Chains A and B, each alone.
Chain A
Amino acid sequence: MATRALLAVVSASPNRCFISPSRITILQSLTSSSSVHFHRHSRKIHRIARSYSSDSDSSALQPPDVSRLAQTARISLTPAEIEECETKIRRVIDWFGQLQQVDVNSVEPAIRAEMDGRNLREDAPETFENRDSIRASIPSFEEAYLKVPKILNKE
């Protein structure tokens, strides 16, 4: 169950095949009905996202569709690179797949590690001091705008 969230991370960023240890911190269980709600919806999410794991009881993890992954991440790969990536990703998934063996039937699904407090901010404006260097670091900054290629479609 926990793997599902991690796999979503992997699916979103195949170029970062190795996730830093802090990200793998075990997700504490949060008892809340909203999590159960998420559980019901997560299957829908993953059907949409075409992710790998099907149901929590199934142990077989499907191989990644790397060319589609690369397309959605807007990364161009040569066929050789696709094959190479496929093997690497597969290995990482299988390594995480060990978690599938854990019995989590009695554990509430969790989305993140517990954060202290609600971490909300006051609605008080603050100007970022170094906006000049932000603008200076933009390669195509012209006449107060970021100049970009003309793209009309979002797909």
Chain B
Amino acid sequence: MSTTLFRTFQPNQFSLLGTSLLRRRRSNNFSVRSCGSQTTTTHEAKQSSPTRVAPKNHKSNKLDEILRDYEAVIGIETHVQLSTLTKAFCSCSNNYGSYPNISICPVCMGLPGALPVLNSKVVEFGVRLGLALNCDLSLKSKFDRKQYFYPDLPKGYQISQFDIPIASGGYVDLDIPLEFGGGHRRFGITRVHMEEDAGKLLHSDTGDYSQVDLNRAGVPLLEIVSEPDMRSGIEAAEYACEMQRIARYLGVSNGNMQEGSLRCDVNISIRPIGQAEFGTKVEIKNLNAFSAISRAIDFEISRQALLYNQGKADEIVTETRLWEEGAQKTVTMRKKEGLADYRYFPEPDLPEVILTKEYVDSIRASLPELPEAKRRRYEAMGLGMQDVLFLANDVSVAEYFDAVIGKGAEVKLAANWIMSDIAAYLKNEKLSINDIKLTPHELAELIAAIKDGTISGKIGKEVSSLPFNNESSFVWINATFSIFADTV
């Protein structure tokens, strides 16, 4: 029986720390940066930590040089697709990935005579997000028509909010990951407003036609416009990460960039250090990952700085550029011939959006603990920033951790277990922490048992290498507890 109990590696209580540190670093590369460099992570994970820095040094040295002479001024517009059951202005289902053109009705198709009716959940989510971003709420806001012609816009206008958004004047606090220098940052939020999404336009590779799927037309969005407070690709990527984190914490969106439920457009300009005026602003679209945000900004800073250095600063024009992931560069999409004329006017078919103080207060009271509050609380508990950022990154992980320490487990031990063994297991099995069958209560007991020596660290480690979802493992664990309880 003993041979089946012991697997290949046999760390004891002392090497436990060593292995868990190593493991933790790897799993951190995966988890903390899971909203960071998704494409570079697998590459980095194969190298051990020290050499991971080396490939980046060459490029970041060049960027550091540029940033000695120039300051980048970056703002981000984020579109969050809301996870409501129905669309913004009609009762069509809001679900991703259906067969094309089945979730349609006269309202979202823009057929004559159809009238929009606002989904109450959209207002609720808007208030939640506005409060989470520390904004002032407009107790009375309105919708406007943003008019332009495009095949994926059935009505010929988008119902949005122009001059009176539901929320404005907020900020977000976040922490830069340690591998990028760490530190707190606060970035301003100019506004949050409600609007509807357009349909999906698919261009055919051959031929001169495109195809339109209107399932997405009318899906509710919240647009978050930041102040131009970011100064680097890292800061911008972390801001976008935090937007995703907050959206997921609040439950207003699943925030998947791949699905398009979180979309970021970057506005960037550079100026010689010391210059008060902003440089010419360039918009970058087609950013499909947080790492792309960071790399696109780095590229754009270099591109613009080069033009400045060559005396060709006037070649930087107000335009929209696309990020090409393959070529790793931005390319001109089209030059803006002046600002677009959207002929905004108030949407006559919709009444004002009125929020009462009671409504706002009840929503404020129902908000969960937000990432920033969690991070500060974990820090106050004595955890290091690496642990803090890992545990607070995913709301489910944080909930699990809170439950484990809620059962009395020691904070640092619980953190270690979750960050090393459990994280590694989840990564291998490609599971999320919601799938794990080891309950917080059981983990707390396990930790306590190891701590007071009921089971030795060796056995504890054995337990950790068991599949956490295997029912027989728990029979084994319980048996182990009782067998080894008497053994010191």
Q: Which residues of A contact B (CB under 8 A)?
A: 5, 8-9, 11-12, 23, 30, 32-34, 37-38, 41-42, 44-45, 48-50, 72, 74, 111-112, 115, 118-128, 131, 134-135, 141, 143-155
Binary flags per residue of B99-115, CB closer than 8 Å to A gives 1, else 0: 11110111001010000
In the assembled complex, the Cα of A150 lies from the Cα of B334 at a distance in Å of 16
Q: Interface segment, B187-195, B341-349, B416-424, B458-466?
A: B341-349
Which single residue of chain A is at the shortest CB-CB distance from B351?
A115
Bitwise, B334-363 to A at CB < 8 A (1) or not (0) is 100101111111101011111000000000
Candidates A119, A121, A149, A154; contact of B351 at CB < 8 Å:
A119
Summed over the interface, the residue pairs from A and B with CB atoms below 8 Å come to a total of 163
**In this complex, what residue of B is CB-closest to A154?**
B150
Please measure, in the bound complex, the distance between the C-alpha atom of A33 and the C-alpha atom of B111, giving whole angstroms: 35
A5 to B93, CA, bound (A): 34
Which B residues are within 8 Å of any A CB, using their own CB? 84-86, 91-94, 99-102, 104-106, 109, 111, 117-121, 123, 138-142, 145, 147-151, 162-164, 202-204, 207-214, 334, 337, 339-346, 348, 350-354
User: Is there an interface contact between A131 and B102, defined as CB atoms closer than 8 Å?
Assistant: yes
A32: chain B residues at CB < 8 Å are 140, 352
A119 to B341, CA, bound (A): 30
A22 to chain B, nearest CB (A): 11
Contacts A12-B343, A120-B118 given; indicate if A144 touches B101 (C-beta within 8 A). Answer: yes
Q: Give every chain B residue within 8 A of A127 (Cβ-Cβ).
A: 92-93
- Bound-state Cα–Cα, A121 to B107, Å: 14
- Say how far A41's CB is from chain B's closest CB, in angstroms: 4
Which residue of A50, A111, A152 has the most chain B CB atoms within 10 A of its CB atom?
A111
Q: Give B355's nearest chain A residue, CB to CB.
A: A118
A111 to chain B, nearest CB (A): 5
Name the one of A12, A134, A147 contacting B111, with C-beta atoms under 8 angstroms.
A134
Q: A38-B346, A45-B345 are in contact. Are A123 and B138 (CB under 8 A)?
A: no
Q: Which of B111, B149, B353 has the most CB of A within 10 A?
A: B149
B93 and A151 contacting across the interface, CB-CB below 8 Å: no
What residues of chain B lie closer than 8 Å to A74, measured between beta carbons? 149
Chain A positions within 8 Å of B344 at CB level: 45, 48-49
A51 to B141, CA, bound (A): 23
User: Which residue from chain A places its CB closest to the CB of B101 in the assembled complex?
Assistant: A144
Q: Decide: A120 and B123 in contact? CB cutoff 8 A.
A: yes
